[in-house]
Chain A
Amino acid sequence: MNKEPEEKVKVEKEEPETMGLAYSIEIKDKDGKVIQRISGPAHSYVRQFYELMSVQAQQAGLGGITDTDGVVRTVIAHAYNFFCYAPATFTLYGIRIGKGSTPVTISDYCLENPLEEGVGVDQVNHLATTRTVPAVVGTTCSFDLLRAVVNNSLAIISNIREIGIYMRAYTSYYLLGVRDIVPSLSIPIGGTMSVKYTFSVTV
């Protein structure tokens, strides 16, 4: 009579996270002098990022995805999914900043109080996005996505508390992929604020 094999081992392997996202922010005055730098790990991919990844992985449409206007959409696999390399002045997708300070939740679908494009009160001019291509250093592969905004209004813009990434989806939907709360920041008149996100994987 054969003896049935028994369940032998149960292993819990706890390892460091392998996919990272970090941000760094640099603020310059009107003369180009750096007046503030902060950086840290980004904490806040939100649900739309994973919903998009799910759509791509499964090649199946997924409903119930909320766009940045609060409209519920169905998204299918598409070449535009995740695109956020925004040109100058463009705010439908790309890195954005805002004045909202409510803590991030998984279901956030837009910045709480994003700064709009322009030269009016609490408006900024968004410059074109720049990037670095993925590069391997040691056991990490990473790339950067960077965008600067310029305060061409007539007043200091203060109490900037949030940054994030708006992504394009399908042909013309726009989704929040990342949102982070940062310490209160100000951009002087004529000054610039640059936000850089670094996407990395480490084995």
Chain B
Amino acid sequence: MKYKLRYSVVVRDPKGKVTFREKGKSRSFLKAWNQALFTQITQQGVSIVDTGGAARTIDDNAINFAMKVTTVSGILLGTDDTPVAIDDYKLGAEIANGYAADTMFREASVNTPAVVVGNNCSFTTTRTFVNWSGGSITVKEMGIVCYFYSGGNKYMQATRDVFVTPLVVVYGGGVVAEYTLEVEA
């Protein structure tokens, strides 16, 4: 199939030196992603479980699929390594935004618009996370949370991936996480 989702993560120590990289094909568009696509294609609402676990009927709307910069949308990281299931509606154990123990500071997402190179069209969303928690954090999962509309803006887990090798992020270090969505004719 020519519709691809790829991810990459780069871990750096407090001095900026790269200590670990992992990249690969994402396995894990989730049910909510396809439900939102269905609603945009047909303008028929379906019930989506949001990241809070509540079932909500999505409406066709300009906000659907938005990966805007907020603390609850865009790329998020977590510490759970439970295998991905099609109906996952959130990360297994999301790392909260902040500076306290077991939290990481989420910087703004950086998005590139769709570009064509040869027979390939792609766009990326990238986010940097910094560990100011005072201790090391082991990151085991990542995913994208998108907006959807259901009488107001809600959030759906669009993708989830569990890393082959957990990422150890030391105090003062960080992670750059990136997803690339691409199509090749």
Contact = CB atoms under 8 A, between A and B. Distances in A.
A120 interface: no
B41 A84 contact: yes
A20 interface: yes
A54 B185 contact: no
Interface string B117-148: 01111110100000000000000000000100
B121 A50 contact: yes
Nearest to B74: A57
Classify the interface of chain B: helix, strand, loop or mixed.
Answer: mixed
A107 B118 CA distance: 9
Nearest to A76: B62
A142 B30 CA distance: 11
Interface stretch (A10-18, A29-37, A153-161): A10-18
Interface in A183-203: 199-203
B35 A51 contact: no
A156 B158 CA distance: 46
A35 to B, nearest CB: 29
B42 to A, nearest CB: 4
A50 B164 contact: no
Contacts of A50: 114, 121-123, 181-183
B31 interface: yes
A41 B3 CA distance: 11
B38 A133 contact: yes
A16 B183 contact: no
B154 to A, nearest CB: 15
B101 interface: no
A58 interface: yes
Interface string A51-89: 101101111101000000000000011111111110000
Interface string B158-180: 00000011000010000000000
Contacts of B31: 134, 136, 141, 201
Interface residues of A, number: 68
Given A145-B41, A199-B38, A77 B63 contact: yes
A57 B185 contact: no
Contacts of A131: 38, 42, 44
Contacts of A14: 24-25
A38 B118 CA distance: 30
Given A18-B27, A83-B43, A104-B185, A43 B2 contact: yes
A47 B21 contact: no
B178 to A, nearest CB: 13
A108 interface: yes
Given A133-B46, A134-B38, A201-B33, A11 B164 contact: yes
Nearest to B87: A136
A121 interface: no
B68 A59 contact: yes
Contacts of A167: 41
Interface of A: 4-21, 41, 43-47, 49-51, 53-54, 56-60, 62, 76-85, 104-108, 129, 131, 133-134, 136, 138-143, 145, 167, 199-203
Name the 4 nearest CB pairs between A and B, nearest first: A13-B24, A54-B114, A56-B65, A82-B40
25 contacts: A8-B20, A11-B21, A11-B23, A12-B23, A13-B23, A15-B25, A16-B25, A45-B2, A51-B121, A54-B181, A57-B181, A58-B123, A60-B113, A62-B113, A79-B59, A85-B43, A85-B44, A106-B121, A106-B184, A138-B86, A140-B86, A141-B34, A141-B35, A203-B84, A203-B85
